[in-house]
Amino acid sequence: MIQQEYRQQKKDSLENRYGTAVDNLQKEFPCTQTWKRFRFLRLINRFDGDLNHVENFLKKLQQRQENPDENHSTTRRERREELKTKYASQLAELELAGISSQRPGIFRQLEKHQGDVNKVLETMKKRSEKKDQKDDLNSKYSNELTQCENDGIQLKNKRVLLRLLEKSNGDVEQVKKLIEERQEKCRQRKDYRRKHRDHSKTTAAEPMDDGNSTEKKKRRELSSDDVENLKRLRAAGVHGNPQRILEIFHECNESIEMTIARKEEQREQRLRQREEREKKRTLLKDVHNSYLSLDKRDDWPTDIEQVYLDGNNMMFVVDSLRRLCLNRAGKKTERALGEIAAAWNDQLGIPNVDLVFDSTNQTGQIGSVMVSSAQPQFRTTDDMLVEIARRPENREKNKRTIIVTSDRALAALLQNEGCQLIKPYSWFAHCVMILTPDLIKHEEMTGLISDKATSTTVKKRYNFDELVHRVAKIDIA
* Per-residue confidence (pLDDT) for residue 206, from 0 to 100: 46
DSSP helix/strand/coil, 80:
helix
Angstrom CA distances, 400 to 86, 350, 412, stand at 54, 11, 17
With a cut of 50, say whether residue 288 has pLDDT above it: yes
Contact 309, 341 (CB under 8 A): yes
* Per-residue confidence (pLDDT) for residue 104, from 0 to 100: 74
CATH code of the domain occupying 295-472: 3.40.50
From the number of C-beta atoms within 10 Å of its C-beta (0-12, 13-18, 19+), residue 388 rates as buried
Instruction: List the strands of the sheet with 306-310, edge to edge.
Output: 364-366, 369-373, 352-357, 306-310, 401-404, 420-422
With a cut of 70, say whether residue 69 has pLDDT above it: no
* Per-residue confidence (pLDDT) for residue 273, from 0 to 100: 92
Count the helix, strand and coil residues of the chain and give each as a percent rounded to the nearest 5.
65, 10, 30
Which of 311, 322, 314 is CA-nearest to residue 385?
Answer: 311
Contact 303, 351 (CB under 8 A): no
Pairing of strands 420-422, 401-404: parallel
pTM flag (> 0.75): no
With a cut of 90, say whether residue 474 has pLDDT above it: no
Q: Which range has the worst mean pLDDT, 107-116, 198-207, 331-340, 364-373?
A: 198-207
Q: Which range has the worst mean pLDDT, 169-173, 204-208, 224-228, 431-435?
A: 204-208
Q: What is the pLDDT of residues 217-237, one digit of tens each?
A: 445 577 888 888 888 888 888
Angstrom CA distances, 248 to 165, 252, 254, 256, 325, stand at 48, 6, 8, 10, 53
State the DSSP code for 118.
H
Q: 3-state SS of 330-394?
A: HHHHHHHHHHHHHHHHHHHCCCEEEEEECCCCCCEEECCEEEEECCCCCCCHHHHHHHHHCCHHH
- CA–CA gap between residue 398 and residue 391 (Å, rounded): 10
* Per-residue confidence (pLDDT) for residue 294, from 0 to 100: 86
Where b means 16+ CB within 10 Å and e means fewer, 148-181 reads: beeeebeeeeeeebbebbeebebbbeebbebbee
With a cut of 70, say whether residue 297 has pLDDT above it: yes
Q: What is the pLDDT of residues 73-130, one digit of tens each?
A: 556 777 788 888 888 888 888 888 888 878 778 888 888 888 888 888 888 888 888 8
With a cut of 90, say whether residue 143 has pLDDT above it: no
Handedness of CA 329, 334, 337, 338 (dihedral sign): negative
* Arithmetic mean of pLDDT over the chain: 82
Task: Please tell me which residue, 210 or 155, carries the higher pLDDT value.
Answer: 155
Q: How confident is the model at residue 30 (pLDDT cuts 50, 70, 90)?
A: confident
